[in-house]
């Protein structure tokens, strides 16, 4: 999959990344159909967030379709359209 990756202040690149895999039975994998870069991402890009290390995937607001869901996921199923919370992500 393609990802916009922060590689240091004012250095971003579109990189190929591995397809995510479920890490636990409470996880879901979302095929992102639309995403955006927000103000937080712009601050990171400029190097204003020292805690953000090189290699961080940018873009944490989006919508998509559930591609796979762990056995403990009860609220969603494969094929559901979802809004991705801007504060809960594993960054892959």
Give the pLDDT score at 87.
Answer: 67
pLDDT tens across 48-87, in order?
Answer: 999 999 999 988 789 999 999 999 999 999 999 999 877 6
Q: How many CA atoms lie within 13 A of 28 on its CB side?
A: 23
The answer to whether the Cα torsion of 47, 86, 25, 67 is positive or negative is negative
Domain spans in the chain, listed from the N-terminal domain onward: 2-84
The arrangement of strands across the sheet holding 56-57 comes to 12-16, 2-6, 56-57
Architecture of domain 2-84: Alpha-Beta Complex (3.90)
1-59 pLDDT, tens digit each = 899 999 999 999 999 999 999 999 999 999 999 988 888 889 999 999 999 999 999 88
């Amino acid at each position: 999959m393609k990802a916009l990756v922060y590689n240091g202040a004012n250095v971003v690149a579109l990189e190929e990344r591995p397809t995510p895999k479920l890490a636990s039975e409470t996880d879901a994998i979302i095929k992102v159909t639309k995403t955006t870069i927000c103000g937080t991402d712009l601050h990171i890009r400029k190097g204003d967030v020292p805690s953000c290390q090189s290699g961080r995937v940018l873009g944490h607001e989006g919508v998509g379709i559930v591609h796979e869901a762990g056995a403990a996921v009860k609220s969603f199923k494969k094929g559901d359209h979802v809004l991705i919370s801007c504060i809960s992500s594993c960054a892959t």
